[in-house]
Every structure is written in C-alpha cells, then in structure tokens.
Amino acid sequence: MPANLLEDRDYTIIIARSDASRDPQHPWYEDWIEAQASLIDLAKKCQEFDSDGITLYEASTPMWKYKNSNVARLAEILQRQNTEPDSENPTAINLEEALKASFSDYFASKTNATAKKGAIIVAVLDQKPENTAAVAEIIVSAANKIDKDEEIGVSFIQIGDDLTTREFLTDLDTNLQGRGARFDIVDTNFWHEIKRSSVVQFLIGAIND
C-alpha cells in the first residue's frame, strides 16, 4: 500500500495513561519514559499528513481535547504525566469517551462534506478500560458506518506488559468482525514495535491490518 494513502486524513492521538503508571516505582513508568521518543516521532509524521493539525486527547476523567494541535502539545502532555497524580483526586481511564468523540467529529465532517478522505486514530494505553464492551461497541459502530476498509484505521499501542490488556487488544484486532463489524479497522502493537525508521509502515498498518 503506497504511503500517499496516508495523506489528507484526520489524525488523532489518544493518551490513556493509568494513574498507577505515573508512580516512578511502577514497572510501567520507565516504559512510558522510553516510549516518548517513538510517540513524538509518530506525532511528527501524523502532523506532516494532517494539514490543519492533529487532534490530541487525554483520556482521563475529566477528558481533555486539543484540536488543531501539534507535536509540542503532545510532548507537554507526556512530560506532565510523568509526575505523580494527586492521590486525593484519582482519575480513571476514559477511552470510551475519547473514541466516541473522535468518531463523532469525523462522521460530522463527512455529513457536512468537509471530511478528508479518511481518519487514523492512535490510542496509547497501559491498562484496558473498565468498560471493554462499550469500547468494542463504539468501534464496531464506526466500522459499520464507513464505505471502505481503509477509510478509518484505529491503532492501539500498548505500554507495559499487562496480560489482560494485551488479551483485550488482541481480541479487538482479531475478532472485530466476529463482534458484528463490517470491516476490520483495528491494529494493535507494543510501543517498541514502532521503530523510528518505520513510522510510515506503522500508520499504513492502521488502515491495512
């Protein structure tokens, strides 16, 4: 699949980091630190393809959205999340709302005839969401609204090695159509599989799983 299919798309990056992994003593803390360079390189490439800026989400509670954003904002988010959270005000991963908002924006632009030729959503997480069924349902619903397989790609990047999270992502990757989706739009990876020299291939994988 040629790289030019990545052009003229909307790009969204969702950061869904658990509170636990923001503790320097947590085993996933170092994984987030080590992954930052790869995530920044990924965002740079997305920014090249998205003329009006990438959209960023902090999939926390409350959720934060940064539209028409850039690599500098992502770097700031990642750096800020390296500090320990407020123990008196814990947050929960809110991947469901971030995905729902991302799809809603794309389909709204499509209805208004302002959409680009497709969208790629990258969700970075270290722990599966609490409501896994709702997340799967949102993705299946989006997959049933598109006209062709490569129109939307959803790529999950796992930070850390949590087994239940990997099982959840693998099920989405391999069984989306078994859940009723018209197209398989999900691809999953560990963060270290995104090599700086192959960011384009990673993005192509999102729409050509």
User: Averaged over 40-69, what is the pLDDT?
Assistant: 93
Which domains are seen in the chain, by residue range? 3-207 (3.40.50)
DSSP β-ladder status, 10-16 and 186-190: unpaired
| Structure tokens given for 182 | 């018209």
Q: How far apart are CA 74 and CA 188, in angstroms?
A: 21
- For residue range 56-66, what is the model confidence (pLDDT) as tens digits? 999 988 899 99
DSSP β-ladder status, 186-190 and 54-58: unpaired
4 pLDDT band (50/70/90 cuts)?
confident
117 pLDDT band (50/70/90 cuts)?
confident
- For residue range 68-106, what is the model confidence (pLDDT) as tens digits? 999 999 999 999 999 877 666 657 789 999 999 999 999
Task: Quote the pTM value.
Answer: 0.93
Nearest to 109 by CA among 5, 10, 209, 29: 10
